[in-house]
Structures are given as C-alpha cells and as structure tokens.
C-alpha cells in the first residue's frame, strides 16, 4: 500500500511539474514570449480569440501571477488548452487529437516490439555465453545505439526509399487519399510506417538487448539458479521461469523510466520522415511560434509517458509478488 | 557457543587511493573495448586541435561552386552555399567535442551533488531529492529541450549546453545515490565518523574516491547524451545555424534537399562522425561496466 | 567405521579457477569417503576451498571454475564423466543440496509449493494428487504447516525458509544430502534447533550428510567424522571425538586451541599467526609450514601425503613413515 501511495505521489508531482513548467517557462525567458505572442495575435484575430488565448495562458495583465496560475490550471483541467496559431482557429485539443493516433500507432507498436524482441535476444545471449557471439554482441550494439536515431532514419530513407524505391518517401499515408478504413488505406499506412518503425526498433533494440543480457548474467549467478540446476530442472525451464522471470523485473522498471528518452528518439524519427504524429506537430508548432500548441503537446507527451509507467508498474506487480506486499 | 575461525582477511580496509587508480589503469589497458574507444576519442581530439593544419580550406569560405560532387579537390563535395564539406567536417569537431565535454562535466557535477547529498542527508531530504530526480528523469527530454529552446530567443551554444544539462543530469543522480547508499554503511566510514570527521570531509575524501569509476562512467554517459542531444536539436534547427558543428551540417543538408539532390555525402559524413564520437564514449562507458562487474566480460568456452 | 561400501568416494579431486593470472587451484587432490548414513563435517577458514569442494561433488560448478581431474564416485558411478543430461536423472533423487541462505536459494517469484512441484515434475512425477500429497508430507516432516505451500519465500521467517529448503531436499528421500553452511544465516538459538532437526531427520530417513561450515563447535556436536581443510587440501580426517580429544595436525591443534573453554582453568588464547596463503601461489612443500610452530627442515620442500595414524589421516611430515 505504501508503495502504491509513493507512486501516486510521484505521478502527481510529475504532472504538476509539467504543468508548472509550461506556465513558468514562457514567463522566465527574456522577452516574455507569452506576451509577445499575444501582441501578434491581437492585430489579427477577434477579441474573443484573444480572450481565449489569455485564458489558455492564464495571462490576464490585470491579475496577479497566482491568479493567472490557478486560472491556467483550471482551464487545463477542463481540457481547454487554448487555440492553435498554426491551425487557427482550431483549438489545441482538437489539433492534438489529429496527431495522437499516428504517434501511438507508430511509436507504441515499435517500442513494444523492440522491448520484447530485445529482451528475448538478451536472455538468449546471456544463456549461451562464450564464443564469438558473446564477445561481438556488446560492442556491436553499443556502437549502434550511439548512432543518432534520425540519422539511421535518413540512411534507411536514402537506401530503401530513394535508391531502391521500395517504400514511400515519408508521411503517414499517400497525401492524395482521404483517411478511411479500407484495406488499401491500411496497406498504405503500413507501407508508410514501415521504415520509421524499423528505425525506432533498430536504434532502441540494442539498449534492451544489452540491459537484459547484463541483468540475466547477474541473475544466472544467483543461488536459486544453482538450486534449480541441482534439482535437475530442464534448461528451458530454468532459463524462463527461474532466471528470465527474475531478470526481466529491473528491466521493466528501467523500461518505464527510460520512456522519456525513447519517446524523444521517436519524435526525431517522425521529423525525419515527416510522419504526421505528435513529434512532427511539435516541430510545426516551434517553427510557427505556436506556443499554445507547443505547451499542449508537451503536456500530452508527458502524460503519455506517465501512463506507460503506470502500465509497467502494474505489470511488474503482477510478475513480482514482493511488490504486492506492503514495504 | 559458536566460535568462528577468523583471520586477517575478513577485516579488509579500502584500498589506498593510488592503487585504485593503478588498478583502474591496468584494467582499462587490458580491455579491448576501452582501448578502441579511447583510441577513437584521441583521434577526434587530435583532429579538433590540429584543424587549422589538416583542413584543406577555410570552412566558411563561400568561394566554390555549389552542390559539387566529391572530387579530389573537394573530398566530400560542396554545400548548397559553396563551402567545402570536408573542411566543415573537420572544423566541426571542435564545437561538438567542447559541447560534449562541457555539458558532460556539468551534468555529472550536478548528478554527483544531488545523488550523494540525497544518500547522505537521508530522511525527508532524500525523499524530496529523489522525487526531484525522478521527475526530471521521466519528463521526456526532447520535448522539454525543444520547448525551452523555442522560448529562448537566442540559440547560442550556452543555451544548448544549458538545455542538455537540465535534461541530462537525472540519469546519473540515481545511480550515484544507490552506490553512495551502499558505501555509507561500510566500516571505514564508521571509523571516520567515530574519529569525529565532519560529514563534508567524509563525503569528499572517503566516499567520492571510492566512487571514481562510477563517476567516470556517468560522465561518459553524459558526454554521449550531449553529443546526440546536440545533434538532434541542431538538426531540427534549434541550434545556432551559423555555428560549425555536425548537427548543423545535417540541418543545412536537409534544407538543401541533399538526399534528393544527389549529395548524399553531405548527410552521411556528419552522421558518421556523430556516430563515431558517440560510439567512442559508449565503448569506453561499457568497458567501465565490464571492469566493475567481471561477470559481464566475454567468456571463453572451454 | 566404514564397514559397508561407501556411498561417496572422492579420489584426488582437483578443481581450478581460470583467472587472468593463470589457473588457480582451489581444491588440490582431495580424497575422502562417506559411508551410508554417516555425518561428515568439513571445516576450514574462509577461502580454504570447502565450498568449492562441495559444489564440485554436487557437479554445480560454473565457469570459471571446473573440475580438472579426479573422480567423484557416487554409488559406484563416476559423476565427473557424466554430462548434464545424464546428471539430471541422478540429481535430487539420490543426492540433494541445501544452501547457505534460503532467501537466496529460493526463487523469489514462485511459491514454495511451485518450487516443490517443479522438482517433482522434473523427475517425471506428473500426477497432481501425488505431488500435493508428497508436498504436504515433506513440509510436515520439517515441522511447517502445509498451508505455507502457497507462500512466497519472502513471506516466511528465516528459520522456516531454511527448513523449507531442507524439506525440498528430502522430497525424494535421497541417500546423500550435501549442506553448505545452512546455519550461518541464523541466530544461535535457531542454529541449534535446526541442527537437532537435521540429526533427527537423518535418524529417521537414513541419509548420509556432508556438512560444510567454519563453525567448529557446532559441527563437533553433530558429526561422526570431521575433515579439516586448509588452502585447498585436506589436512586431517578422522573420527570427530578423537580429533577433538587429540588433534594431530599442528593446524588442527591451532584451530582447537583458539577456542576458550568455559570449563577448566583459564588458558591464554592462542591464535594462529599469519594468514592463509594466496591459492594462486601456494607455499612450497607443506602449505601450512610458514605458520606452523612445529615445522622442521623438510617441511619447506617436501609435500606431505595423507599419513595414517591411530585411525585418522594426517597430512603432516611429523607422521610420515608411521612416526
């Protein structure tokens, strides 16, 4: 119970931190970008829209900063994230919803595949120590994981889309089509999404393989693995039920905590491929100085990471009976 | 009554500081990954220092024809504005290295301060600092960096370093705290406490030296992170695009449609360099892991 | 003492660790025998090789340690020549292992019952009813309520965990149980209680036991015979009571002299000066000679064999040629 409470506290504080960062940053930077943006708005849009923006930013020149803060918080709680400049006059919330499914689909799937595959390979690599495989594996993957995500994306784009022309040159789907649920469209989505997904898997899998291998090696030295051997259990059973199940636990927590980094990489990939997800949208927002959209995206991405961590926590609790007890 | 047989071996004191370093140097020299990584790093440092000597042309000189293919005069071709790519590549080593080292050191220092302090103060302070660390760990780095950079109107090196440090210190802080906690209860620290040493003395002179290899590993990780983070930010356009660095080269390459215009080397070369430098840091970092935990070393099948 | 065929015969066993500085011999030509139903204690300081010896006998060594030469004959079959598959049939059915810390030896994510079931299923026992019955039976044998079959290791107390491990070791009523310091993790009271229980079980079921420890006083009350190890070699091997009454090897004398007795006059505490040698570079001749108060000229150059003396075996030149 205490453990659950600590986690809840952690989630709440992180959420609060993200919200507050959103609020403080524009006000901290020299030139107060929030005000500047509002000035730009004023000339072009109706009074109503200006008021909406002020509400979204909590920026009422006549009120104290604390009042502004609370107004901002309450607006956000009601889902009012302001109006987007780049997609004017669509509200930020709606704009984000357009991009969300693409990112969840691409990044979500690719990351999970990379984690599962990487963990499995890492487990096998640790099990079969010795030989060339064991010596070459770490350096290979170390080097691969040091290569910037987006550069591998560029490379794949060059080779497979430009030279070999096996895959399209970017975007989520053929821009001449409408979004629909037909099989041909799904096929298009798949074709467009293949290279970005491959990029994410290739660059992130190395990390999972290595960490699982290292945890597994440590686990294999544990006494209970020795005991399992002493009892005459089959090697497969030992690898999965005794070593694997224990080795994966710190990895799950690690996976959750590193999601912030993983999503960053995925964003870079979206940008390379012009894939219409949250990352690409963030770039658009930055280029248009659309601060409201930027804030909304930042908040959403943080919330997404927190949700993923929550899921990882639940899975860990299911797999590890020790966490279910009160600490 | 249970009487046990003890000899001098059981009550071991920590190694003197000199032999810690000597053992480290020994271990590093025997580890092939560490050697490869260090060799690469040395190579890049040399290139950076000797840039004026090795670079065929002034990297900013706009004198040449634009978008030339690689040739003997221009080993990697020229940019869309007519600069020699190879020269740019060489000169960019400086900024990237400086960035990696400065940002790496700063992030490491903050990690050490936060991590070790949390372990030492314990109680409510530990709880608060942990929360602080975890929050920064979880908030996605690239979005945060993008947001901060976007708000900051100037995109100079200082802001870049600042943004990297702010997002990069949290990873190391956790590991340092764990190790500091483990060390905290060792006998030699008890001895220091009994002698009446102040906590700050204990931390600086007794604890930190025993954490040297972890601190070095964290610095290397931070340097790696800096290289990649800077590359991404510059590629997106949030760096100072008039600076000479590999990430910026990629930005300009992208904006001139290098891939489609048939100048793939403009894109491939800076990327390879980033990967090589990053890989060097990563190799040495991993080698440190292996040195610390011998079980991870390659096993020869008998 | 050894009237019938010994259940375990170790002959000239050598175990080496591969290291950066060349192979290190942790067990150097150790030979010993265990009769059915006998309780053999193996004592020595940390690092003398007793745990390595134990794991070598149980064929549980992992790289970088390996058996280099010698025989381990269990019920006549040389275990060293068997591969993992062949070993799996013998393991647990005929000999089992009890480790030092049950917290580390039990899988934290499986219940005690699950782990018992794993052992039984690995030996082709698949009938759930029989598995359940045997699990209940063996838990009761060590004094634990079978309801704890559903518990995870961290939910049991230290003493219970240790007994659960013993229950697991006895599930097939093996002929030999090998124990590696099973009482070190417990407090003094629990130690004695566990030892009594082990002796009682031995009496009931009749298994032979090899018990490794560095706690001499504990083993002196419970073992039939005692082997004293130093620097990878057996220094003295004999009947426990005789050994305590009249230790022959100078090292044994030193060990026993290190314990103050509650009865009798106050005697000055004698330790053994110096420290055990580095196994990578053992001393020439007799390994104990640098620290031996009774060394004489040949000790530095001649390696002593195990010499018989009054029914015990002693590795000391003082007893060579029936001196």
Written as six digits, the tokens of C142 are 């060590």
Q: Would you call A234 an interface residue with chain C, using a CB distance cutoff of 8 Å?
A: yes
Measured in whole angstroms, the distance separating CA A110 from the mean position of its chain's CA atoms is: 11
Asked if the Cβ–Cβ distance from B30 to C218 is below 8 Å, we say no
Is the per-residue pLDDT at B6 higher than 50? no
- Pairs of CB atoms within 8 A across A/C: 82
Contact between chains at B153 and A33 (C-beta distance less than 8 A): yes
Q: Give A194-212 pLDDT, tens digit per residue.
A: 888 888 888 888 778 888 8
Put simply, the answer to whether C119 touches A319 (Cβ < 8 Å) is no
* Chain C residues near residue A249 by CB distance under 8 angstroms: 109
- Low-confidence stretches of chain C (pLDDT beneath 50): 1, 323
Q: Look at residue A300 and tell me whether its pLDDT is greater than 60.
A: yes
A12-41 residue pLDDT tens? 888 888 888 887 777 766 655 556 666 666
Chain B partners within 8 Å of A158 (Cβ):
259, 264, 267-268
User: With 50 as the cut, is the pLDDT of residue B11 above it?
Assistant: no
Q: How many Å lie between the alpha carbon of C7 and the closest alpha carbon of chain A?
A: 19
pLDDT at B294 over 90: no
Q: Look at B231 and A259 and tell me if their CB atoms are within 8 Å.
A: no
Compute the average pLDDT of residues B234-257: 82
Asked if the model's pLDDT at residue B127 lies above 50, the reply is yes
Chain A residues with CB-CB distance to B224 below 8 A:
146
Chain B: residue whose CA lies nearest to C256: B5
pLDDT of the residue at C90: 83
CB-closest option in A229, A233, A322 to C108: A322
pLDDT at residue C225 in the model: 92
- Gap from A225 CA to chain C (nearest CA, Å): 8
Contact: C214, B8; criterion CB under 8 Å: no
Please tell me which residue, B64 or A189, carries the higher pLDDT value: A189
Partner residue opposite A305 with nearest CB, options B138, B238, B286: B138
Indicate the residue of A130, A222, A227 with minimum beta-carbon distance to C97.
Answer: A227
Q: Residue B4's pLDDT is what?
A: 39
All structural domains of chain B with their residue ranges: 84-296
Give me A233's structure tokens. Answer: 């259990």
Check if A236 contacts C (Cβ < 8 Å): no
Is B21 exposed, middle or buried (CB count within 10 Å of its CB: 0-12, 13-18, 19+)?
middle
What pLDDT, on the 0 to 100 scale, is given for residue B102? 93
Least confident of B9-18, B143-152, C29-38, C207-216: B9-18
B151/A25 touch (CB, cutoff 8 Å), yes or no: yes
B144/A150 Cβ within 8 A: no
CB contact under 8 A, C154 and A227: no
CA-based nearest residue in chain B for residue A203: B275
Backbone angles phi, psi at A272, to 5 degrees: -60, -45
Consecutive H or E run containing C67? strand C65-74
Q: Tens digits of per-residue pLDDT, A214-238? A: 888 888 888 899 889 888 888 888 8
Residues 6+ apart with CB under 8 A from B300: A130, C18
Residue of B nearest to A9 (CA): B131
Given pLDDT bands bounded at 50, 70 and 90, which one contains residue A255? confident
Question: If residue C309 lies in a helix (H) or strand (E), which one and from where to where?
Answer: strand C307-309
Q: ω into residue C64 within 30 of 0, thus cis?
A: yes
The whole-angstrom distance between B20's CA and the closest CA on chain C is 18
Q: What whole-number distance in Å separates Cα of residue C48 and Cα of residue C251?
A: 13
Q: Looking at residue B302, what is its pLDDT? A: 36
Among the residue ranges A138-142, B19-23, B103-107, the one predicted with the least confidence is B19-23
Q: Return the pLDDT at B103.
A: 93
Confirm or reject contact between A245 and chain C (CB < 8 A): yes
Confidence of residue B301 (pLDDT cuts 50, 70, 90): very low
Nearest-by-CA chain C residue for A247:
C109
Subunits touching B (CB < 8 Å, at least 3 pairs)? A, C
Q: Which long-range contacts (CB under 8 A, 24 or more apart) does B20-26 make?
A: B20/B209, B20/B210, B20/B212, B21/B212, B24/B212, B24/B213, B24/B291
Residues of A in contact with C97 (CB under 8 A): 227, 230
**Could you tell me how many helices (H) and strands (E) chain A has, helices first?**
16, 0
Concatenating the DSSP letter of every residue in chain B gives ---B---GGGSPPPPPHHHHHHHHHHHHHH-HHHHHHHHHHHHHHHHHHTHHHH-SS-TT---SPTTPPP-SSSTT-B-TTS-BHHHHHHHHHHHHHHHHHHHHHHHHHHHHHHHHHHHHH-HHHHHHHHHHHHHHHHS-HHHHHHHHHHHSS---HHHHHHHHHHHHHHHHHHHHHHHHHHHHTSHHHHHHHHHT--HHHIIIIIIHHHTHHHHHHHHHHHHHHHHHHHHHHHHHT-S-TTS--HHHHHHHHHHTTTTTTT-HHHHHHHHHHHHHHHHHHHHHHHHHHHHH-GGGSPPPP-
Best probe of the C interface among A220, A232, A233, A324, by most C CBs < 10 A, is: A232
Shortest CA gap B201–chain A (Å)? 33
Q: What is the pLDDT of residues B35-50, one digit of tens each?
A: 888 888 899 888 888 8
Say if CB C168 and CB C203 are below 8 A apart.
no
Nearest chain A residue (CA) to B150: A286
B vs C, Cβ pairs < 8 A, gives: 42
Model pTM score: 0.74
Which chain B residues touch A297 with a CB distance below 8 Å?
A: 143
Q: Cβ contacts (< 8 Å) between A17 and chain B: which residues?
A: 135, 139
Q: How far is B197 from chain A (nearest CA, A)?
A: 34
> How far off is chain A from B48, nearest CA to CA, in Å?
20
The most confident of the ranges A52-56, A271-275, B224-228, C60-64 is B224-228
Interface contact B302-C66, CB threshold 8 A = yes
Which chain A residues are closer than 8 Å to B300 by Cβ? Answer: 130
Pairing, β C95-98 against β C176-180: parallel
pLDDT digits (tens, 9 = 90+) for B88-115: 888 888 888 999 999 999 999 999 989 8
Whether C216 sits inside 8 A of B5 (CB atoms) is: yes
Contact with chain C for residue B299, Cβ under 8 A: yes
Which chain B positions have a beta carbon within 8 Å of C216's beta carbon? 3, 5
What pLDDT was estimated at residue B15?
45
* B12/B22 Cα distance (integer angstroms): 19
pLDDT for A326 equals: 44
Name the pLDDT band for A131 (thresholds 50, 70, 90): low
The pLDDT value given to residue C41: 92
C172 vs B9, residue with greater confidence: C172
Per DSSP, chain C holds a count of helices (H) and strands (E) of 10, 12
Residue C209 is predicted with a pLDDT of: 92
Contact B2 C215 (CB under 8 A): yes
For residue B293, list chain A residues with Cβ-Cβ distance below 8 A: 214, 218
Cα separation of B4 and B175, whole Å? Answer: 36
Taking an 8 Å cut-off on Cβ atoms, the answer to whether A295 and B147 are in contact is yes
For chain A positions 150-179, those within 8 Å of chain C (CB to CB) are none
Whole-complex ipTM: 0.79
How many Å apart are CA B36 and CA B30, to the nearest integer?
11
Residues of chain C in contact with residue A235, where contact means CB-CB under 8 angstroms, are: 84
In this complex, do A321 and C122 lie within 8 Å of one another by their Cβ atoms?
Answer: no
Geometric angle at alpha carbon C173, from C171 and C174, rounded to 5°: 110
How many other C-beta atoms are found inside a 10 Å radius of the C-beta of residue C20?
A: 9
Fold adopted by B84-296: MetI-like fold (1.10.3720)
Asked if A325 has any chain C CB less than 8 Å from its own CB, the reply is yes
Using the Cβ of C66 and the Cβ atoms of chain B, whether some distance falls under 8 Å is answered with yes
Q: Chain C partners of B1 at a C-beta cutoff of 8 Å? A: 188, 217, 262
């Amino acid at each position: 119970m205490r453990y659950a409470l600590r986690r809840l506290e952690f989630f709440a504080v992180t959420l609060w931190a993200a919200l507050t960062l959103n609020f403080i940053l524009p006000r901290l930077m020299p030139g107060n970008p929030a005000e500047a943006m509002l000035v730009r708005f004023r000339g072009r849009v109706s009074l109503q829209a200006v008021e909406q923006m002020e509400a979204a930013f909590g920026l009422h020149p006549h009120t104290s900063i604390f009042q502004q803060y609370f107004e901002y918080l309450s607006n956000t709680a009601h889902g009012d994230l302001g109006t987007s400049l780049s997609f004017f006059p669509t509200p930020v919330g709606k704009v984000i919803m357009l991009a969300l499914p693409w990112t969840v689909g691409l990044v979500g799937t690719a990351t999970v595949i990379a984690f599962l595959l990487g963990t499995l390979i890492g487990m096998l690599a640790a099990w079969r120590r010795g030989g060339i495989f064991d010596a070459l594996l770490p350096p290979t993957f170390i080097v691969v994981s040091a290569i910037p995500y987006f550069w591998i994306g560029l490379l794949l784009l060059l080779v497979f889309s430009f030279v070999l022309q096996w895959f399209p040159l970017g975007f989520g789907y053929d821009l001449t089509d409408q979004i629909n649920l037909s099989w041909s469209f799904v096929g298009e989505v798949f074709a467009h999404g293949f290279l970005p997904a491959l990029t994410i898997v290739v660059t992130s899998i190395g990390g999972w393989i290595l960490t699982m291998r290292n945890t597994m090696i440590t686990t294999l030295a544990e006494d209970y693995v020795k005991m399992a051997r002493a009892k005459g259990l089959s090697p497969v059973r030992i690898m999965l039920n005794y070593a694997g199940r224990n080795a994966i636990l710190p990895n799950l927590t690690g996976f959750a905590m590193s999601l912030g980094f993983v999503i960053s990489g995925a964003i870079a990939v979206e940008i390379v491929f012009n894939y219409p997800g949250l990352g690409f949208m963030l770039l658009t927002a930055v280029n248009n100085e659309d601060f409201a959209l930027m804030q909304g995206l930042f908040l959403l991405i943080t919330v997404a990471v927190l949700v993923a961590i929550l899921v990882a926590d639940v899975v860990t609790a299911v797999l590890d009976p020790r966490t279910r007890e009160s600490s | 009554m249970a009487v046990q047989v003890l000899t001098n071996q059981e009550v071991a004191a920590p190694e003197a500081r000199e032999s810690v370093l000597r053992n480290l140097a020994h271990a590093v020299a025997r580890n092939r990954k560490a050697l490869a990584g260090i060799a690469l790093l040395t190579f890049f440092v040399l290139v950076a220092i000797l840039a004026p000597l090795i670079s065929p042309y002034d990297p900013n000189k706009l004198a040449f024809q634009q978008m030339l293919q690689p040739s003997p005069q221009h080993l990697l071709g020229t940019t869309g504005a007519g600069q020699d790519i190879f020269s740019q590549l060489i000169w960019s080593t400086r900024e990237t290295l400086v960035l990696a080292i400065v940002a790496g050191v700063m992030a490491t220092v903050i990690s050490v301060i936060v991590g070790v302090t949390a372990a030492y103060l314990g109680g409510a302070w530990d709880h608060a600092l942990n929360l602080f660390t975890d929050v920064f760990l979880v908030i996605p780095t690239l979005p945060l960096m993008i947001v901060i950079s976007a708000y900051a109107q100037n995109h100079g090196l200082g802001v870049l370093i600042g943004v990297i440090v702010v997002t990069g210190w949290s990873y190391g802080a956790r590991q340092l705290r764990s190790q500091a906690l483990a060390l905290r209860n060792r006998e030699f620290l008890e001895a220091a406490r009994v002698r009446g040493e102040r906590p700050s003395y204990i931390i600086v002179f007794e604890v930190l030296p025993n954490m040297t290899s972890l601190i070095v590993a964290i610095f290397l990780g931070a340097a790696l992170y800096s290289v990649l983070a800077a590359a991404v930010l510059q590629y997106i356009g949030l760096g100072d695009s008039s600076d000479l660095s590999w990430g910026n080269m990629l930005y300009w390459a992208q904006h001139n449609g290098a891939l489609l215009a048939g100048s793939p080397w403009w894109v491939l070369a800076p990327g390879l360099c980033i990967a090589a430098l990053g890989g060097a840091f990563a190799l040495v970092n991993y080698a440190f892991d292996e040195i610390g935990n011998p079980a991870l070393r390659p096993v020869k099948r008998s | 003492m050894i009237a019938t065929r010994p259940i375990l015969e170790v002959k000239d066993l050598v175990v080496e660790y591969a290291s950066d500085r060349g192979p290190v011999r942790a067990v150097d030509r150790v030979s010993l025998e265990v009769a059915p139903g006998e309780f053999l204690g193996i004592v020595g300081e940390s690092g003398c090789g007793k745990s390595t010896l134990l794991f070598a006998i149980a064929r549980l060594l992992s790289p970088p340690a390996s058996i280099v030469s010698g025989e381990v004959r269990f019920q006549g079959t040389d275990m060293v020549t068997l591969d993992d598959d062949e070993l799996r049939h013998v393991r647990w059915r005929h000999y089992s292992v009890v480790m030092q810390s049950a917290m580390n030896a039990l899988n934290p994510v499986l219940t005690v019952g699950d782990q018992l079931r794993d052992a039984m299923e690995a030996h082709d026992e698949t009938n759930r009813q029989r598995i359940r019955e045997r699990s209940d039976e063996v838990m009761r044998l060590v004094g634990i309520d079978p309801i704890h079959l559903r518990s995870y290791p961290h939910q049991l107390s230290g003493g219970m965990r240790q007994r659960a491990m013993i229950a697991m070791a006895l599930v097939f009523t093996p002929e030999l149980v090998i124990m590696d310091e099973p009482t070190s993790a417990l407090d003094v009271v629990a130690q004695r209680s566990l030892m009594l229980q082990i002796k009682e079980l031995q009496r009931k079921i009749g298994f032979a036991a090899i018990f490794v420890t560095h706690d001499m006083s504990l083993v002196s009350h419970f073992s039939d015979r005692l082997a004293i190890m130093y620097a990878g070699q057996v220094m003295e091997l004999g009947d426990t009571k005789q050994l305590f009454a009249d230790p022959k090897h100078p090292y044994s004398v030193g060990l026993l002299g290190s314990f103050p007795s509650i009865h009798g006059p106050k005697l000055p505490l004698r330790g053994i000066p110096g420290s055990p040698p580095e196994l990578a570079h053992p001393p020439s001749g007799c390994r104990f000679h640098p620290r031996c108060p009774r060394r004489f000229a040949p000790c530095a150059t001649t390696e002593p064999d195990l010499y018989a003396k009054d029914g015990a075996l002693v590795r000391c030149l003082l007893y060579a040629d029936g001196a």
